[in-house]
Structure 1
Amino acid sequence: MRWILTRARIEVIMTASATRSRSAGSPVVDVTWFFAIAVLLCFALSVPMVFRLVPTDLYNLITPIMQQSPLLAAIIMWLARRPGTFRETFATRWRGTPQWAGIGIGLIAAIAAIQTAVALASGIWRLNPLDQILAATIWIVPVFLMQSVLAIGEEFGWRGWLATRAASWGFWTLALVSGLVWIVWHLPVLAVIGDRPLWDIVIYFAGMLPWAPLLLALRRRSGSVWPAVLTHGAINSVRVYLLQSVPNATDHLLIEVIGWILTLAAAVWLMRPSRTRLVRGPAEA
């Protein structure tokens, strides 16, 4: 009887182990579910804006809530699968964050500064009045902190859970796939930006794609999601300041393309083989 129970226990353990192995070796289904939940949640939350069911004053309240949909989707998938602890799966360790966040923020500032310098030197843009620039400068740090907090919802999903669950994918494959879904996830923004020429909208959404490999590179190189969070915060604060508060900027394809090329080049630089250390998640370790 004791031998039968021991054998049954071994079979249960082997079955559970095989199930975990199949789950760990096939992240496509989990990633697909994550994408679907994140996008559908975002779209559902955007309904009041898309159909003009609420005053425009409430858009600034709804948008930050929409930003949390990737985190909610990731938590749902983590609770359903439990491949590891929250800290492991979402890569929330802080060690190394100041160094890598500094690199990320520095790259964002350098790229935006180059774009602005080219535009000013070529006469495409002109400087704003000095008092206006100084007034905007005061708000850089507060806006950076606020945008970094809001970016947690996105980055814990895209570069936290997703980067861990799909760690076995090639870097550029994951960057491209997640970047394309990230663009789809942003589609409700159309309800906020109002009527704009189609070409401007295409440029707006295309401009998001190069950020995916840069943020993912920071996540993989550091082994932590926090550099991606803080760099995302810099994209929405430091970059906006340098491109919109310093110059009197207008949409211009050349300046946008320069930014795209430099952003992709930064991702390539971060991920070059001599410096790359692939950070594997618990499902692949």
Structure 2
Amino acid sequence: MVASPPLARSARSTVTDVTWFFAIAILLCFSLSVPMVFRLVPTDFNNLITPLLQLTPLLAGIIMWLARRPGTFRETFATGWRGTPRWIGIGIGLIAAIAAIQTAVALALGIWELNPLDQIAAATMWVVPVLLMQSVFAIGEEFGWRGWLSTRAASWGFWPLALVSGLVWIVWHLPVLAVIGDRPLWDIVIYFAGMLPWAPLLLALRWRSGSVWPAVLAHGAINSIRVYLLQSVPNATDHLLIEVIGWVLTLAAAAWLMRPRKA
């Protein structure tokens, strides 16, 4: 019998580890979401359960790290801070710019109208506190998806890893169906499809910066600054054109970040 070459064994090992990581993260998420999905607790408890679900990718990553020990926690989860302020600013800036363009287009075309100025002003006061809170909640997700996974599967290349991780990220989010209420099937499809473009952008921030923290803060901005610009500033309704504009701009931002650098 001819032994497998080291490269082939390494590739199989990576697939095995990543498969285990995906399985553990999804199993933990689905298990912890049972009380929420099957309405075993009052809906008020959803706000307590959701942050626990966000920790499951981190827990899966820690389990795999303890099992394999490929390097230090800092190396494996890319927790270094050096040079990150610039990339954090770029990430938050891109999130804000994309949402601002979507809102500007919707207002210009008469698709949406501005909310009353006093309502916008009241919401503005909460942008920074919500950004910080959402960034803390995002640590569990980003340390898993863009921390451990990005390090372990780096050999796959940027776009394949972004696509695979994005698709699994959607599956991992399926318990959200329990809290978004009764919505038309098409709205649900659009909701989940909208998650996919964020995976390349967050991964690009992680790879270009060498740290998971820009992805953490950008994830927090998605759930705070983006929501403010798309929901608090305008009186927004679901609209496919505005969604598609956001998807295209997000993918374009990821491609721009990952453009070949001059020597």
TM-score tier (shorter): over 0.9
> CA separation of 1:275/1:99 partners in 2, compared to 1, >3 Å: closer, same or farther?
farther
Deviation at 1:170, TM superposition (A): 1.3
Instruction: Give the structure 2 partner of residue 6 of structure 1.
Output: none
Instruction: Give the structure 2 partner of residue 120 of structure 1.
Output: 107
Deviation at 1:22, TM superposition (A): 4.6
Deviation at 1:96, TM superposition (A): 1.2
Q: Distance in 1 between matches of 2:65 and 2:257?
A: 29
Q: Distance in 1 between matches of 2:127 and 2:262?
A: 32
**Number of residue pairs matched by the alignment:** 258
Residue 57 of structure 2 corresponds to residue 42 of structure 1:
no
Q: Structure 2: which 5+ runs fail to align?
A: none
Q: Distance in 1 between matches of 2:195 and 2:11?
A: 30
Q: Distance in 1 between matches of 2:40 and 2:123?
A: 33
Q: Distance in 2 between matches of 1:98 and 1:271?
A: 18
Larger radius of gyration: 1
Output the TM-score relative to the length of structure 1. 0.88
Residue 143 of structure 2 corresponds to residue 156 of structure 1:
yes
Q: Distance in 1 between matches of 2:183 and 2:44?
A: 20
Q: Structure 1: which 5+ runs fail to align?
A: 1-17, 277-285
Give me the CA root mean square deviation. Answer: 1.5
Q: Distance in 1 between matches of 2:190 and 2:9?
A: 41
Which of structure 1's runs of 4+ aligned residues deviate more than 2 A?
Answer: 21-26
Instruction: Give the structure 1 partner of residue 225 of structure 2.
Output: 238
Instruction: Give the structure 1 partner of residue 58 of structure 2.
Output: 71
The residue matched to 1:260 in structure 2 has which SS?
helix
> CA separation of 1:275/1:87 partners in 2, compared to 1, >3 Å: closer, same or farther?
farther
The residue matched to 2:171 in structure 1 has which SS?
helix
> CA separation of 1:196/1:25 partners in 2, compared to 1, >3 Å: closer, same or farther?
closer
Output the TM-score relative to the length of structure 2. 0.96
Deviation at 1:26, TM superposition (A): 2.7
Deviation at 1:274, TM superposition (A): 2.0
Instruction: Give the structure 2 partner of residue 81 of structure 1.
Output: 68
CA offset digits 1:153-210 (Å, max 9, x no partner) = 0000000000000011111000000000000000000001010000000000000000
The residue matched to 1:193 in structure 2 has which SS?
coil
Deviation at 1:273, TM superposition (A): 1.2
Alignment of 1:19-38 (within 5 A): 22=9, 26-38=13-25
Residue 133 of structure 2 corresponds to residue 133 of structure 1:
no
